A and B are shown apart, each in its own frame.
Chain A
Amino acid sequence: MLHAKVNQAIHHISQHLLGKEHQIKLALSCLLANGHLLIEDLPGMGKTTLSHALANSLGLGFSRIQFTSDLLPADVLGFSTFDHQKQDFRFHPGPIFSPIVLADEINRASPKTQSALLEAMEEGQVSVDGETHPLPAPFFVIATQNPLHQSGTYPLPESQLDRFLMRIQLGYPSWEAEKQMLRGPLQNNLSGIPACLSQTELTQVQQHIRQVYASDAILEYVLRLSHFSRESDLFANALSPRASKGILQAARSWAWIDGREHVMPEDVQAVLPCVAEHRLRSDVAELGQNTPLSQRLLDAIDPLAA
């Protein structure tokens, strides 16, 4: 039932982002696994479209912050003003107080602003002027970023990249998909995407996904992967325990979307590139030139070996 609704959402989104079903599935499984999502690609590849569509179909309120180099932390978190009538400071919540936050072009903001956002992501609360304000639950951040070789960007440090469960890349659409896109209406009407899940349903789904069965064999496979990344000198950075946990959680979510109540090695393999690549190497400049590190990691480990 819930499962059908999620698939319906995927179907709807893929009407607007043609030929990218796999990425849509990944993005959804990231959100359903209660993780933050980073979408990285060149301008004009549909990053914003995807994030909008995701927010719409999950039926959550969302706010969008366009990150620029002069954006200040207060512009994100909110600020307090003195209320003369009540003789008190009143907190004006920023755009971050919203179930889904679209942080567009996050790497164009200064590190100070970036870290304000990322701290909020991690702790689920915001501290302004010594007062703590809890963020709504659920709370997702969907950030987009340009590849680093683009001018006017501040790279996210590894510690902050680690807070995103997944980083996905959209890539150019196929010939057919792009042709179909050109044939369609000039302006994409994203508001036409129906909300497929209610908020309670979303919580149910998340709870369900946490109970998807991962056998010992799967746990060991994940462990072998992360241990290999630590022992081998192929990788600049190794996978942290948080990464192992993330891989497993994402795999659960992927398996659930696939209609299963148990995780298979293929689920791990499907989500691993998105979950592990940005943790193994933050240097995006090399992307596309070599075999992705996560692929090398997969190739090195036999999913069946005892």
Chain B
Amino acid sequence: MTRFDLYRQRRLSIGLLNGCLLLTALSLFQPLMGWILIVSLCCIAISLLQLTYQQSMSPRAANLMALLTAIVLAYFSLELGLLLAMVNLLILACSLKVLQLQQNKDVFQLILALFFAISCGFIFQQSIVFSLFYGVLVASMLLAMAAYFRPGLRMFAQLRFVGRLCLMSLPVALILFLIMPKIGPLWQMPSNRSSQTGLSDSITPGDIAHLAQSDALAFSATFRGEAPNMPQRYWRAMVLETFDGKTWSLDKGKLAMERGARQMGIRFSPEVNGAFYDYDIIAEPTQQNWLYGLDLAVPTAGPPGIIQSASYQLISQRPLMKPMQYSLRSYYEAPLDNLFFEGELQRNLQMPRQGNPKTREFARQLRQQYSDDATLINALMTHFRQGGYRYTLTPPLMLTDANDDLLFNSKAGFCSHFASAMAATLRYAGIPARIVSGYMGGEVYPGGYMRIYQYDAHAWIEAWIQGEGWKRFDPTMMVSPGRVSLGLQQALADEGSFLADSPFALAKLRHYAIISRLRTLLADMDYVWSRWVLNYDQQKQFDLLSALLGKVTPLRLALLGLSVVGLIGLLLLVSFFWQQQRPKQTAAVRYYQRGLILLKQHQLGRTLPNGPQAYANFLQQQPNQAIWQAFSPLHDAFVQQQYLPGSKQQTPNIKQLKLALRKLKRALKRPV
């Protein structure tokens, strides 16, 4: 077996670092600007070419590039905001650094910067998949570091070394995670509108149906006890009360009034009692404030800052930047009959004067036929069931008078079309009505929790019936009963448009048993991750500490910290003694080999058939006498160890060997 080539291993480790940079940059493609990504790809390509052809770029060229790109970045940074600009700058700096890996310190800087970039990645992605991915990245960077700064070992030995380091640091990381004080974020996340996901706060029937085409997770729910049946799973998110003839949107005036009222100390918490569901929700980050709940939801536990609105919505005070867990109790039999503001019903009758003439006429006819509100609504629902309407995710575009178009021409659409048409008709007929958007359905997993995906997004209406309050009506249920009772996927089984935009979505392939199991496994892992890791906050930490300590006092905290430190120290001590017990005879060989590596780096390597004695003679003839003087203890210990009798009983003096190695380093640095 020949010795592993030192320089090859170093080149390999630089290649590995380049790969890590590439993956980190790609994983940050959302916050990164396009041109930064391109610059970084170019730098990596150049660095790999440099590795292959063993050439390096002149420092001046690299510096010039750094200056130019920094100026361009500074220009963009105003619109990016501080955090995004800094992330961009970090990746840019890493990319330029790979062009200039001349000395050990360059490599070290690159590795440190990459570690920082990876931790930046967690600002944007926290799911289990990304966490695992970043974990693998960190491990490969450690491997690259080991291979670069300690070459000469076979790759398998390096892997074992890095693996051992990671295992050793795991308990420390766990303890830090559990007992380190949780500090809030030090920066304000930019709320970029384009980065918002989930429901939009307005509905324009005739828009393209893009929401139903995403298989991203919206939130998951765990019920304590009984869970509602499929037709009861209407998750309210937003109530849209303003209609301008085309678009339904939030009532900004009402929201402003609510804010004012809250500041005056008024809470919109209706008196409720009766049967209820108890459940926890983990909402995925949306960069919006809307939370989800079944009617009529009252928050029971969770982080402070969940507000109930006058329209029975749940609002988080901060936008959802990371998964948020909260507990709700939903009184599903309670009526929604509170009118917090005067004129609330009038607001829900407002219609523009122009547009949709046919709908207007249709409403007038209905009003003439039925004087009672409830019968009118029933008749309208019957009309949706029997009027020859069709449910589709790919309706024709309806540019003007969308409600007319849907009701009388195309007769095909999805939930928001039908909801909009029905709410408009009811308003024309003089019945207060509004659109509620949220999610309908949810998939129950074997783990006992329910996951609601973006393709479960839905819109339905509420109409005010005197004496009963706001009542939910879902015209989509009339048109396509399967959408409500079976879920979106079944309803669209024939049409084939379910997730038509994402051809590789796992949800589509669930007919294959293995894919289905994989999807379940991923969902389970993600659920546990969100529940126990991402949502481990100050409150939970406090609970844990209270469970451990009884009462959390500074003294007890200090004792806990000390005992943890003591435990780690004890483990270290045990492992240290264990190391001591192991035979040390190989130490001489190890140090001798290290000396050989050092000498090889200075062109004083051992040529092949030479044994230790011949090599010693060679070193003795070197003009720099200090080299042999420093090396001779290593040589003596090695010969003693390898070739002399009785070496099993003797152990080398490691301190002396270390000293010799240090002396050798110094001797090699000194010019002759």
**Contacting pair B611 A303 (CB below 8 A):** yes
**Contacting pair B1 A269 (CB below 8 A):** no
Contacts A265-B613, A266-B613, A266-B614; is A302 near B608 (CB within 8 Å)? yes
Residues facing A in B620-672 (CB within 8 A) are: 639, 642-645, 647
Q: Which residues of B contact A263 (CB under 8 A)?
A: 643
A295 to B643, CA, bound (A): 23
Residues facing B in A184-231 (CB within 8 A) are: 213, 215, 217-218
Number of A-B residue pairs at CB separation under 8 A? 53
A255 to B168, CA, bound (A): 48
Residue of A nearest to B607 (CB): A299
A266 to B643, CA, bound (A): 11
A302 to B610, CA, bound (A): 8
**Contacting pair A304 B611 (CB below 8 A):** yes
A16 to B311, CA, bound (A): 120
Q: Which residues of B contact A301 (CB under 8 A)?
A: 609
Select the residue from A215, A265, A269 with max chain B CB neighbours within 10 A.
A265
Q: How far is the CB of A258 from chain B (nearest CB, A)?
A: 10
Q: Which residues of A contact B608 (CB under 8 A)?
A: 299, 302
**Contacting pair B609 A215 (CB below 8 A):** no
Residue of A nearest to B589 (CB): A306
**Contacting pair A262 B643 (CB below 8 A):** yes
* A264 contacts partner chain B, Cβ-Cβ < 8 Å: yes
A304 to B3, CA, bound (A): 10
Please, what's the 1-or-0 string for A242-276, where 1 marks a CB less than 8 Å from any CB in chain B? 00000000000000000001111110110000000
A188 to B82, CA, bound (A): 99
Q: Which residues of B contact A305 (CB under 8 A)?
A: 1-3
* A298 contacts partner chain B, Cβ-Cβ < 8 Å: yes
* B181 contacts partner chain A, Cβ-Cβ < 8 Å: no
Q: What number of B residues sit within 8 Å (CB to CB) of A?
A: 19
Q: Which residues of B contact A304 (CB under 8 A)?
A: 593, 606, 611-612
A265 to B638, CA, bound (A): 12
Q: Which residues of A contact B610 (CB under 8 A)?
A: 303
Please, what's the 1-or-0 string for B338-362, where 1 marks a CB less than 8 Å from any CB in chain A? 0000000000000000000000000
A298 to B609, CA, bound (A): 6
Cβ 8 A contact of B643, one of A218, A299, A306: A218
Cβ 8 A contact of B609, one of A262, A264, A303: A303
A134 to B593, CA, bound (A): 53
A213 to B589, CA, bound (A): 19
Cβ 8 A contact of B611, one of A269, A295, A299: A269
The 6 residue pairs across chains A and B that have the minimum distance between CB atoms: A265-B611, A213-B645, A303-B611, A298-B609, A217-B642, A266-B613
Can you list 23 A-B contacts (CB < 8 A)?
Answer: A213-B643, A215-B642, A218-B643, A262-B643, A262-B644, A263-B643, A264-B639, A264-B643, A265-B611, A265-B613, A266-B613, A269-B611, A295-B609, A298-B609, A299-B609, A301-B609, A302-B3, A303-B611, A303-B612, A304-B612, A305-B1, A305-B2, A306-B589
13 other contacts beyond A215-B647, A265-B613, A305-B1, with CB at 8 A cut-off?
A: A215-B645, A217-B642, A262-B643, A262-B644, A263-B643, A264-B612, A264-B613, A266-B612, A266-B614, A269-B609, A295-B609, A301-B609, A305-B3
